[in-house]
Amino acid sequence: MPQISNSNLMIHLISPVKKSLQFIFFNEIGIIVKKNFIPAEAGDNSVSFDTSKLAPGVYFFRVIDQEGNSETRRFIK
């Protein structure tokens, strides 16, 4: 579940195994504004992203694992 403040987006996730995750952030018209690769440990993980340079608005992030599974979530800055 994403939680946003004025300068950070905190994402909590659970991974069954250790793996690398790609995070792709894009605006509501589909323009990519940021990409990151983050290592996730098996179990609970918390990841923080700097959002201070994003203009106010609606954004999405997609998490893609090494097997190509993905999930997309929305957040408002």
The confidence score (pLDDT) of residue 3 equals 59
pTM of the prediction?
0.85
Domains parsed from the chain with CATH numbers? 2-76 (2.60.40.2550)
What's the confidence (pLDDT) of residue 69?
A: 95
pLDDT in tens, the chain (77 residues): 555 667 889 999 999 999 999 999 999 999 999 999 999 999 999 999 999 999 999 999 999 999 999 999 999 88
Residue-level pLDDT at 7: 84
| 18-40 exposure pattern, b = at least 16 Cβ within 10 A, e = fewer | eeebebbbbeeeeeeeeeeeeeb
